[in-house]
Structure 1
Amino acid sequence: MSTGRLAGRYSLQRPLGAGGMGKVWLARDEMLDRDVAVKELTLPEGMSPKERADSVKRAVREAQATARLRHPGIVALHDVVVEYERPWLVMELLRGRTLADTVREFGPMPPDYAARIGADVLEALSVAHAQGMQHRDVKPGNVFLTESGRVVLTDFGIARQEGQATLTEQGLMIGSPGFIAPERLEGHPGGPASDLWSLGATLYTAVTGAAAYEGSAAQRIRATLTQPPPAAPGPLGPLITAMMAQHPEARPDPRVAVPALRQVAAGGPLPQLPAGLEPTAPRPVKKRGRVVVWIAAAAALVVAVATGGFFVLRSMDSGVPASFTVPMDVCTLISQEEVGLLLRTQKPPKGQPGSDDVGPKCGWPISQSGVGLQVQKDSDTVDPWSMTPAGARRLFQGQQRYWKKYDQFDWNWPEIGVKDKMKSKRTPVRQITGVGEEAFAFELAGPDGRVHSAHVYYRLANLVVSVEYSTVADRPTDEDVKQSALKAAQASEQALRDAA
């Protein structure tokens, strides 16, 4: 929607920003004559009914969790409105900038300033922990520094109350890679010590200007599980290292950490930490079935939630590369781990490279199922990497027109066991969001009416990529097939962005 009024009293003025699956609006509470922030839950294309229902439940849970917390360091929730078939959270309006934006613009912070931020956040977390709640997404982007000097922890949208069942499916992880504690990456629910680890990683960024673990999302996750935390310089270094200890029991109690942070904030030295608070060796990565398999695969698909909802998560910059000019091995655009997750196998196949007049391609077939990907070019261009953004737009539009023109196809894929051509009917071609700068999708259904193939075409800068997920197995539903193609497309887009 553009602008309007909610509940007859909240007048939406203009968008303040967007992230994950939500948009934040500047609004006016006409009843109390004050400015407020309104968070709108937006849902992407391609979500199943269950995922949509979980999204709404999570938004309501955010409201319930946040409304019970009263502390200057926790953003205040005023109201919850359900209109236009989605929830809207009415919150206090914060003026200032996030810790992430501050560090990005001004560089590393002085230790005393970072220490004060850490103490304020840890005190706010302690209030939440006392009520049996974990935040689960403490990171620089969720620490807000107001113009009045308040330090506010935002986005309790994925908070987990002790004893409350999580809304995510078993084996999935939520949070932000590089700021998720090791025990949570291994599949444990975590606790207050997990939030403390995330705060330690946040303070590392504050005092160094960089993340403790860098690289792609998958690399950050693997490093968290297998490497000791890097040493931060300055008086906060030993405390940050202790907060990021691999084992939760080796991390300091907040009753020790807060006074230590306050002492550094006042310009003093870091007090002597209790014995035993020292870095521990990284634990071996346990093979815990789908939990660690998913984590290794999902780094580009980790659940990202800014406003609530169980979503396929991608950790990527909002900016789009100007163009891709260096040829790539297209079989690297979807990792082995991601292929294993998509094909539901613990022995994912290696990519089978190929090429035709349309461009280089790669396939990952197993018995009854397969994933395919192709980076496309037009007939006048040597290779996809020589395409211009304008040429890619024309090619994308041409592909869309082609697929809309025909609705009956003969389909086969010998490598997955479909050697004879199968009469198939195309579903309507539809525009989708959540992948690339523009994208469309459609499915092919066999004579029995079941969807056996889902196709996603997207354009990113000067590249047009087509992704296919196909299966003739009995178990996957039509929605499963559609979601698998979307996830494969999102994974390949993330790989392209990482390589840019």
Structure 2
Amino acid sequence: MSAGRLAGRYSLLRPLGAGGMGKVWLARDEMLEREVAVKELTLPEGVSAKERADSVTRAVREAQATARLRHPGIVALHDVVVEHDRPWLVMELLRGRTLDATVREFGPMPAGHVARIGAEVLEALSVAHAQGLQHRDVKPGNVFLTDKGRVVLTDFGIARQEGQATLTEQGLMIGSPGFIAPERLDGEPGGPASDLWSLGATLYVALTGAAAYGGSAAQRLRATLTQPVPVAPGTLGPLLAAMMAQHPAARPDPRVVVDALRQVAAGGPAPRLPTGQAVTAPGPVKRRGRVVIWAAAAVALVVAAGAAGFFVLRNQGGGTPSAFTVPMDVCTLIASQEVGRLLRTQQPPKGQPSSDEVGPKCGWPISGSGVGLQVQKDSDTVDPWSMTVPAARTLFQSQKRWWSKYDSIDWTWPEIGAKTARSAKRTQVRQIDGVGEEAFGVELAGSTGRIHSSYVYYRLANLVVSVEYSTLAEKPTDEDVKQAALKAAQASVQALRNAG
């Protein structure tokens, strides 16, 4: 299928990000002459009829949930289009970056900034809660900071209406480890207090630069259930700890929290909470067998580190890493000298880091050509370093299917000189051997049939990485373009292997 137009009015320009449940496009509403974001539901091949129906229901539920909410702190839904046997959600286009990406790039935020973000997110949540709607996936990656100063809560994809059955089978936990409230881990449906706990964990990251509970996904789940509530330093520490109290009844009233956060945002101290709303010592939390079994299964996918400071965890015999578990600067995955060779310049550009819903990325653009790299994740994982090997395999195959599906896309790269979208034809997806554990390549050709961009996707252990080389020059041959992308991918694989 061509990336073309939906409902006769929404022109899909280029992908903005992808996850396990969908791909987000930059699109143009030709009727109203404005740019929008379009979320496409994608489903893996071979799923059962029930799984397909549940996935579609989830997307429709997201649309229904979001459409009812009107608040500047909640991403606006414009339209729902059903084409090609699946729904497409048309939403307002947000320009900026997620809280997760901001903290990753710039580090911890001042308490006043964190307090303002928290107050605005909690006010948005209160609007949803007033209509009986839980978000259930509040995390740094779902808090968006726009260029104009708005704080927007995004992705109501796993929201749950009060009294409405969940979409998942009984016993399957959904959400992001480290940001799921203890009572939900214990099998309870949760409520507004559960979203408050998740917001506390989110603000803890913004304030300290690190998660309240670290480690692998299984370790974060176990710590949430068994470890005392951490108290961050500074004026906001006790308030965040109160929001993250083990028992929902011990958490403050959201109205009290908003007032306290507004006071800190204005430069004042955090007020003392009313009696009975202070931090309580963690008590015993009852556990259901399915939680223990689920956590044990997750632990089986991870190898414990043998020494502090290791970036990659290797198999006992060495060689391919078993898992990459600690975030790193992705701009270090292709050395400056190699970038210079690929771009044929003696003054290689400095890597430009950025991030989106798919994961951290880096670009090395110059006039007329550029190299790009992104470490990817699915929509159900907090970051690429928390991906499991099975999840990475699924994501890799999903990307391969996506590229095989679309015959043409609108391509642009303003930093190298391609400032306006141009239609590009996709070449046949081809398997690549010797790059990571599995890899494929695909190219884009312009109107003359000449290839201007080559992409290599590979999986190494639990990471899925995409590498791109593009050029606007006429001199390089099609094979030159392919080889440049391949060399960039090979260099990044070696850098990952050497990191351990």
TM-score, normalized by the shorter chain, greater than 0.5 = yes
Amino acid aligned to 1:434:
L
Q: Give the drift of 1:255.
A: 1.0
**Partner-residue secondary structure (3-state), 1:12:** strand
Aligned to 1:111: 111
- Structure 1 stretches lacking a partner, 5+ long: 302-320, 335-431, 441-457, 465-489
Contact 1:186 1:286 in 2 (8 A): yes
Which structure 2 residues correspond to residues 35-50 of structure 1 after superposition, within 5 A? 35-50=35-50
User: Is 1:286 matched up with 2:286?
Assistant: yes
Question: 2: distance between equivalents of 1:299 and 1:167?
Answer: 25
Aligned to 1:423: none
Which structure 2 residues correspond to residues 323-362 of structure 1 after superposition, within 5 A? 327=316
Aligned to 1:199: 199
Question: 1: distance between equivalents of 2:434 and 2:260?
Answer: 48
Q: CA 1:172–1:161 in structure 2 vs 1: closer, same or farther (change >3 Å)?
A: same
**Partner-residue secondary structure (3-state), 2:221:** helix
Contact 1:228 1:280 in 2 (8 A): no
- Structure 2 stretches lacking a partner, 5+ long: 302-309, 324-392, 402-431, 439-458, 464-495
Contact 1:45 1:433 in 2 (8 A): no
Contact 2:221 2:295 in 1 (8 A): yes
Q: CA 1:148–1:290 in structure 2 vs 1: closer, same or farther (change >3 Å)?
A: same
Amino acid aligned to 1:64:
Q
Q: Give the drift of 1:46.
A: 4.1
Aligned to 1:434: 395
Aligned to 1:224: 224
Q: Give the drift of 1:131.
A: 0.2
Q: CA 1:281–1:149 in structure 2 vs 1: closer, same or farther (change >3 Å)?
A: same
Aligned to 2:333: none
Question: 2: distance between equivalents of 1:83 and 1:162?
Answer: 30
User: Is 1:271 matched up with 2:271?
Assistant: yes
Which structure 2 residues correspond to residues 460-479 of structure 1 after superposition, within 5 A? 462-463=436-437
Q: CA 1:259–1:38 in structure 2 vs 1: closer, same or farther (change >3 Å)?
A: same
Q: Give the drift of 1:326.
A: 5.2
Question: 1: distance between equivalents of 2:434 and 2:179?
Answer: 28
Question: 1: distance between equivalents of 2:246 and 2:399?
Answer: 41
**Partner-residue secondary structure (3-state), 1:28:** strand
Q: CA 1:82–1:16 in structure 2 vs 1: closer, same or farther (change >3 Å)?
A: same
Aligned to 1:149: 149
Aligned to 2:60: 60
Question: 2: distance between equivalents of 1:88 and 1:234?
Answer: 44
Question: 1: distance between equivalents of 2:75 and 2:229?
Answer: 30
Q: Give the drift of 1:114.
A: 0.5
Question: 2: distance between equivalents of 1:104 and 1:222?
Answer: 24
TM-score w.r.t. length of structure 2: 0.62
Contact 2:20 2:395 in 1 (8 A): no
What is the alpha-carbon root mean square deviation over aligned residues?
A: 3.4
Q: CA 1:27–1:84 in structure 2 vs 1: closer, same or farther (change >3 Å)?
A: same
Which structure 2 residues correspond to residues 225-304 of structure 1 after superposition, within 5 A? 225-298=225-298
Contact 2:229 2:241 in 1 (8 A): yes
Q: CA 1:88–1:459 in structure 2 vs 1: closer, same or farther (change >3 Å)?
A: farther
Contact 1:77 1:92 in 2 (8 A): yes
Q: Give the drift of 1:48.
A: 2.3
User: Is 1:30 matched up with 2:30?
Assistant: yes
Aligned to 1:179: 179
Question: 1: distance between equivalents of 2:155 and 2:99?
Answer: 14
Aligned to 1:17: 17
Question: 1: distance between equivalents of 2:248 and 2:297?
Answer: 25
Aligned to 2:164: 164
TM-score w.r.t. length of structure 1: 0.62
- Give deviations 1:317-358, integer Å, cap 9, x for gaps: xxxx9998653599x979xxxxxxxxxxxxxxxxxxxxxxxx
Q: Give the drift of 1:284.
A: 3.6
- Give deviations 1:61-120, integer Å, cap 9, x for gaps: 000000000000000001111111211000001111100010011000000011000000
Amino acid aligned to 1:327:
Q
Q: CA 1:34–1:243 in structure 2 vs 1: closer, same or farther (change >3 Å)?
A: same
Aligned to 1:101: 101
Question: 1: distance between equivalents of 2:26 and 2:399?
Answer: 28
Q: Give the drift of 1:289.
A: 2.7
Amino acid aligned to 2:316:
P
Q: Give the drift of 1:285.
A: 5.0
Contact 1:138 1:179 in 2 (8 A): yes
- Give deviations 1:6-44, integer Å, cap 9, x for gaps: 001101111111223211111111111111100011112
Contact 1:63 1:80 in 2 (8 A): yes
Amino acid aligned to 1:132:
G
Q: CA 1:322–1:233 in structure 2 vs 1: closer, same or farther (change >3 Å)?
A: closer
Question: 2: distance between equivalents of 1:328 and 1:236?
Answer: 47
Aligned to 2:120: 120
Question: 2: distance between equivalents of 1:182 and 1:144?
Answer: 25
Aligned to 2:384: none
Contact 1:79 1:90 in 2 (8 A): yes
Aligned to 1:312: none
Q: CA 1:196–1:461 in structure 2 vs 1: closer, same or farther (change >3 Å)?
A: farther
**Residues matched between the structures, number:** 341
Which structure 2 residues correspond to residues 445-484 of structure 1 after superposition, within 5 A? 462-463=436-437
Question: 1: distance between equivalents of 2:177 and 2:435?
Answer: 25
Q: CA 1:16–1:192 in structure 2 vs 1: closer, same or farther (change >3 Å)?
A: same
User: Is 1:84 matched up with 2:97?
Assistant: no
Question: 1: distance between equivalents of 2:435 and 2:61?
Answer: 38
Q: CA 1:254–1:287 in structure 2 vs 1: closer, same or farther (change >3 Å)?
A: closer
- Give deviations 1:220-256, integer Å, cap 9, x for gaps: 0000000012111111111000000000011010110
Question: 2: distance between equivalents of 1:322 and 1:279?
Answer: 35
Aligned to 2:73: 73
Amino acid aligned to 2:145:
L
Instruction: Indicate the structure (1 or 2) with the bigger Cα radius of gyration.
Output: 1
Question: 1: distance between equivalents of 2:134 and 2:174?
Answer: 12
Amino acid aligned to 1:40:
E
Contact 1:241 1:279 in 2 (8 A): yes
Amino acid aligned to 1:232:
A
Contact 1:75 1:152 in 2 (8 A): yes
Q: CA 1:159–1:99 in structure 2 vs 1: closer, same or farther (change >3 Å)?
A: same
Which structure 2 residues correspond to residues 356-435 of structure 1 after superposition, within 5 A? 433-434=394-395
Question: 2: distance between equivalents of 1:45 and 1:236?
Answer: 47
Amino acid aligned to 1:58:
R
Q: Give the drift of 1:141.
A: 0.3
